[in-house]
Amino acid sequence: MTKRIAFQGEPGAYSHQACHEARPDYEAMPCPTFEEAIEAVRSGRADLGMIAVENSTYGRVADVHHLLPESGLHIVDEAFVRVHINLLGVKGARLDEIERVRSMSILLGQARGFVREHTLKTLNWSDNAAAAREVATLGDKREAAFSSELAAEIYGLDILARHVEDHERNTTRFLIMARDIDLTRRGNGKMITSFIFRVRNIPAALYKAMGGFATNGVNMTKLESYMVDGNFTATQFYADIEGHPDDANVQRALDELDYFTDKLELLGTYPASESRQ
């Protein structure tokens, strides 16, 4: 039976590319929203979910950190995709004919220099691959989309300009989610452990909670905060650390963190991708 991996977006999206690169033996399953991709895994219609969490140019993907703790899913791997932004037009179109480009705001923000240089009008679209499909449907040589080479192939478009992103290392990080957590994996190199926590409402709680990682020599590679339920006093944190929960120093750091929190939830532990380097 073919295994399936769900992603947010339409065929040709960068999440689709991530599925091909990270799990080539899985059938990629497009979903309109992150919620639907997560639900596909939770319900068993898909075995894994490919969820975009942050981009090196644009920053974190909005709302995803709110969805992860409530998803009931666990992180089993991470994947990094080098996001090459391409200008796609209908067959026979020329770059100097293009008047307007459409794409998600995230992608438009990653190619501002190209848009200014060619004085293009922009149109915010729900999905990069959907923007490419719309251009193919319109058949207008004045219309274009920012999207992937995979989208050009799927929708029969010409690539009028390649790699137009502002930053040459433009990369998106994805988390691969599954229904079950696996704490037995060790990998051949560094392990990453991801968790969420909410500090107790006492003075200097965050400072004291973080002290355990410093004193135990645990490297924290990410710490992000976000409000919970619209309450300014209930701030939740998402963190990534290097190490495995069974490592003695990580155990001590998490025990110390637990003392200063009223919520601590492990989201997963998984091998660090080589692309982190």
Query: One-letter amino acid identity for 31?
Result: C
Alpha carbons 254 and 258: distance in angstroms, whole number: 6
184 is catalytic: no
Among 7, 114, 146, 174, the active-site one is 174
Q: Among candidates 12, 67, 14, which has minimal Cα distance to 42?
A: 67
Q: Is 174 labeled as catalytic in the residue annotation?
A: yes
Structure-block tokens of residue 139: 């058949």
Residue for token pair 């391409």: 86
Q: Which of 57, 172, 193, 261 is catalytic?
A: 172
The distance of Cα 13 from the centroid of its chain, to the nearest Å, equals 12
Question: What is the rounded distance in angstroms from the CA atom of residue 130 to the CA atom of residue 157?
Answer: 13
Active-site residue list: 172, 174
